[in-house]
Amino acid sequence: MSIGAIGFPPATIGASTTGGVMGSSGSTATSAAGFDDILVGAIGNLQGLQATSNELSIQAVNGSLDDIHTATIASTRAQLTMELVAAVRNKGVDAFNEIMRMQA
């Protein structure tokens, strides 16, 4: 499963053969989206996945859903994306706390 499949569009990741988001000169690549743009996009995608999952779950309960696999896959995608966004947020908070401890 690719990162794009669980919430992050591949075009915004900024990975390149020269070492990820950083260019060969060590500065951030200008074509790569900022971290905040990527995180906001992931949260927006998460909301869309959750809405789709909720809609399909309601259809499954009403009996109007033809394929239960679609609802199961949508639910799993929303769950995995939520876990990924929460993990990124937790790492960001941990990094912030570590920086604050260095300054004290």
* Measured torsion, CA atoms of residues 71, 74, 77, 78, in degrees rounded to the nearest 10: -100
Q: Is 45 helix (H, G, I), strand (E, B) or coil?
A: helix
pTM above 0.85?
no
Radius of gyration of the chain (CA): 18
Q: Tell me the pLDDT tens digit for each residue of 39-76.
A: 888 889 999 999 999 999 999 999 999 999 999 999 99
- Buried/exposed code over 78-89 (b: 16+ C-beta within 10 A; e: otherwise): bebbbebbeeee
- Return the residue matching tokens 């604050």: 100
What are residue 29's phi and psi, to 5 degrees? -65, 135
Q: What average pLDDT does the segment 18-25 reach? A: 40
Supply the pLDDT for residue 39: 81
Looking at the chain, how many residues does it have?
A: 104
Supply the pLDDT for residue 40: 87
Bridge partners of residue 28, in order along the sequence: 22
| CA of residue 92 relative to chain centroid, distance | 14
CB 52 within 8 A of CB 78: yes
